[in-house]
A and B are shown apart, each in its own frame.
Chain A
Amino acid sequence: MKKRQRAGFYFILPWLIGLIVFTAFPMLAAAYISLTDWDIVGNAKFIGLDNFKNVFRSEEFIKSLWVTFRYAILAVPLIIATSLTMAVMVSKNYKGMRIFRVIYYMPAIVSGVAVAIVFKWILDPSYGLINGVLSFFHIKGPDWLYDPDWVLPSYLIMAMWGAGGSLLTYLAALKDIPQDLYDAAMIDGANTWKKVKYITIPLMTPIIFYNLVLGIIAAFRKFTDAYVLGGAGKEGNFYMVYLYEEAFSHYRMGYATALAWILFAIILLLTIIVNWTKKYWVYSE
């Protein structure tokens, strides 16, 4: 390695140290635990790959994976699109934009439990706000969280509401786009849409990539509001809720850890795929 390249190694050293000191042992422990029958409280009994075998035979596993997957595949693009739109709308320094930026970001600052409870009331089938507004237009709203067909849309609505969470990242990226590029484009006669399409979005792709990867991870690991509000009953709950209950309600930590590793593998696979496509659409100097 060239000397300059080696320097990079020193820069990442703090993280590497942290990896070894804080991350490696728990992950190795978790790997071992997944091969055991452990009720947390007692001793762990080594059982090899039995946990994994049981997972793949479990109906609950398939159901929760499907629920989570369906959610992820819809929520991730939805959130990115919503967030990008919000960002572009509030990016200019017009009067009052500062307040709007805070308002659109605010959903991300509340902790999950409070939000979940409030949405429970907003989505209430009989007296909630959404159905109230719908009834104004003479539409009978669905049972939302109580109707298996409408559980997923309920969570998507909550996801869109919280989409502002990535707002700051897009704003930070938007700030970076040199004004000269827009100037040059204008001279060439480009209109707003063309500017967005050929300048803004391409230069934002690194940040979009970031939000995509993180979005996938977050969607598959969705927990807090799902835990408070529940899934679709027999249709299955979110994967992490299933995992959490296996670990802390049924005291089957070994099995839960196996579930965790399977989730890990799925997310890793998806991320590798997305990362591989990086060279096709993500701009970098």
Chain B
Amino acid sequence: MSWGKRKKTGKHLGRGRLTALYVVLVLGSVMMLLPFVWMVSTSFKVENDIFSIPIKWLPQKITFENYIKALRVVPIAKNMLNTVIIAVPKILGEVFVSALVAFGFARFAFKGRNILFMILLATMMLPYEVTMIPTFMIWSHLGLSDSYVPLVLPAFCGSASFIFFMRMYFETIPKDYEEAAWLDGAKNLKVFYMIFIPMAKPALVTISLWSFMGTWNDLLGQLIYIDSQHKYTVQLALASFSSMTGETLWGPLMAASCMALIPIIALLLYAQKYFMEGIKLGGIKG
């Protein structure tokens, strides 16, 4: 779309207001990015430069030794691959099942719906630290400690917060869309697939991203269920840089953390296109 066209329709901001918006956004961005700047900058600093008074924001001497050291200490590519192996089935399970379940809650007023939904919310309220050990005890008893299964299998029953989100999202979709389909006698599942899923793309992308990030950043779960080093994930690899009794290797830790961020940022950038789609047209009138 060209500038000229926008101005004419008057729906969008005038030039002055737009500039102001950009200024505010840039200022805000600086604040948002500061910690990342620190991480990246530190990852290129020589060891002696990492801590100094006053804090140096830019490295005096750029060095790649932290990256080299990080790659030597942990096989980060393999760790990332492991995490992806866990993440992919988990995303597929969580996203599809959550959407399905949310549809059930959103569009069908079955008996006990409200109670069940409250229970769903309630499952998010008990800190997992206290259910962690009983859960581990079961998996261990089944011989599934040091395995990815406990981390992936539950995903196929949906995730409470994703179900919650999808339900709220579905509730914003005007009923008019489905009424037509149901009047035509379409089966429920078909309505779900043909109408809801396409319309909910941004929401589905959102929870997919969350699911991926959840796996990528889950330290405690992976720590408890994974023993063997060849099964290590990204978070476990990052944890290897600080020791209970030794010193933290700040430089390599920052380098590894930066490397761990890249896939997520890439995904985020890629996912943006789902938020950029054309604005919804008034489908009913047409």
Instruction: Please classify the interface of chain A as helix (H, G, I), strand (E, B), loop, or mixed, using the class held by over half of its residues.
Output: helix
Contact B157 A19 (CB under 8 A): yes
**In the complex, what's the smallest C-beta–C-beta distance from B16 to chain A, in angstroms?**
13
A196 within 8 A of B: no
B34 pairs with A102, CB closer than 8 A: no
**Bound state CA distance, A48 and B41, in angstroms?**
55
CA distance A30 to B109 in the complex (A): 32
Interface-lining segment among B66-74, B78-86, B117-125, B224-232: B117-125
Residues of A within 8 A of B169 (CB): 172-173, 176, 206-207
Q: A15-B157, A107-B35, A271-B125 are in contact. Are A257 and B268 (CB under 8 A)?
A: no
Most chain B beta-carbon contacts within 10 A, residue among A96, A172, A183: A172
| Distance in angstroms between the alpha carbons of A217 and B160 in the assembled complex | 13
Smallest CB–CB gap between B12 and chain A, Å? Answer: 7
Q: A8, B105: Cβ atoms under 8 Å?
A: yes
**Known contacts A129-B55, A172-B202; A25/B18 CB under 8 A:** no
Interface string of A102-140 (1 = CB under 8 A from B): 111111111111110011011010111100100000000
Interface residues of B in 139-177 (CB under 8 A from A): 154, 156-158, 161, 163-165, 168-169, 171-175
Q: Could you tell me the distance in whole angstroms from the C-beta of B113 to the nearest C-beta in chain A?
A: 7
Considering the complex, which residues of chain B in the window 163-220 have a beta carbon less than 8 Å from any beta carbon of chain A?
163-165, 168-169, 171-175, 188, 192, 199, 202-203, 205-206, 209-210, 213, 217, 219
Instruction: Enumerate chain B interface residues (CB-CB to A < 8 A).
Output: 1, 10-13, 18, 21-22, 24-25, 28-29, 31-36, 38-39, 53-55, 97, 100-101, 103-105, 107-111, 113, 116, 118-127, 129-131, 133-135, 138, 154, 156-158, 161, 163-165, 168-169, 171-175, 188, 192, 199, 202-203, 205-206, 209-210, 213, 217, 219, 235, 238, 257, 261, 264-265, 268-269, 272, 275-277, 279-282, 285
Where the two chains meet, the residues of A that have a C-beta atom closer than 8 Å to any C-beta of B are: 1, 4-12, 14-19, 21-23, 25-27, 29-30, 33-34, 40, 86, 89-90, 92-94, 96, 98, 100-115, 118-119, 121-122, 124, 126-129, 132, 161, 164, 168-169, 171-173, 175-176, 178-180, 182-183, 186, 192, 203, 206-207, 209-210, 213-214, 217, 221, 240, 243-244, 247, 253, 256-257, 260-261, 263-264, 267-268, 271-272, 275, 283-285
